[in-house]
Chains A and B, each alone.
Chain A
């Protein structure tokens, strides 16, 4: 079983590298016995968080990097995703489920993370995302 220390990785604004980080965190959660439902939620939320960091935060700029810190324990999974962008106000993202926005092709990532994770917290600047998923037993 993996030790319960926080791990830190820094990647380029690159989707392949993001995928490798996703795999690593999901595998780590698997090692701790988290069930399919949690792994599904985790993979989806990591994809949304990392895509937002690369796309909206770093604006696909390969010179900008994404820093990921994560800690998996039997009680919970913590993931921090920090980009080098200017940040944003998550409260200003329009509700994608209203009639007016239903056909808008973007703007659902944050909503999905909020639905699938226990906690979704942005720092004040809005360039760092903290995802938390508690184990059902915890």
Chain B
């Protein structure tokens, strides 16, 4: 179990709003701790609608992308949906290069991501 809080969770309606607290999500240790927290938040309760905010994140690696893919799959398996938001321009470029901007639902703001659930 991690000692350091990696995420902050708020509930808004049916959605879980999760803010990533790390500026750098690069290495395997950090990523596995974040993944553990994210998967447990996704699976608690009945609502599987999650908004993931990258407002604080400055660096992201391919391994972090892999975790997002697994999280997205898990949300869908549970009949839910994962939405990403507040991704800064240079990070969004990573999603474009890898074409993952086509796989994920990405929104500029948190409010737009939340309202997309309808």
B63 within 8 A of A: yes
Which A residues from 57 to 71 make CB contacts under 8 A with B? none
Which A residues from 36 to 55 make CB contacts under 8 A with B? 37, 40, 43-44, 47-48, 51, 55
Q: How many residues of B contact A (CB 8 A)?
A: 23
Interface residues on A, range: 20 to 34
A88 within 8 A of B: no
B46 within 8 A of A: no
**Interface window among A3-11, A74-82, A105-113, A124-132:** A105-113
B29 within 8 A of A: yes
B69 within 8 A of A: yes
A106 to B26, alpha carbons, bound, how many Å? 14
Closest A residue, CB atoms, query B66: A105
CB proximity of A43 to chain B, nearest CB, Å: 6
Q: Please, what's the 1-or-0 string for A89-111, where 1 marks a CB less than 8 Å from any CB in chain B?
A: 00000001100001111111101
B1 within 8 A of A: no
A115 within 8 A of B: yes
**Quick one: which of A16, A40, A43, A108 contacts B98, CB cutoff 8 A?**
A108
Q: Given that A15-B29, A47-B27, A51-B28 are known contacts, is A97 also in contact with B99, CB under 8 Å in the complex?
A: yes
Q: Does the CB pair A44–B28 fall under 8 Å?
A: no
Q: Note all chain B residues with C-beta closer than 8 A to A19.
A: 27
Which B residues from 59 to 95 make CB contacts under 8 A with A? 59-63, 65-67, 69-70, 73, 90, 94
A residues within 8 Å of B by Cβ? 15-16, 18-19, 37, 40, 43-44, 47-48, 51, 55, 96-97, 102-109, 111-112, 115
B residues within 8 Å of A by Cβ? 26-29, 59-63, 65-67, 69-70, 73, 90, 94, 97-100, 102-103
In order of increasing CB-CB distance, the 3 nearest A-B pairs are A105-B66, A108-B62, A97-B99
Other contacts beyond A44-B94, A48-B62: 15, CB < 8 A: A40-B59, A40-B90, A44-B26, A44-B61, A48-B61, A55-B28, A96-B98, A102-B99, A102-B100, A104-B69, A105-B65, A106-B63, A109-B61, A112-B94, A115-B97
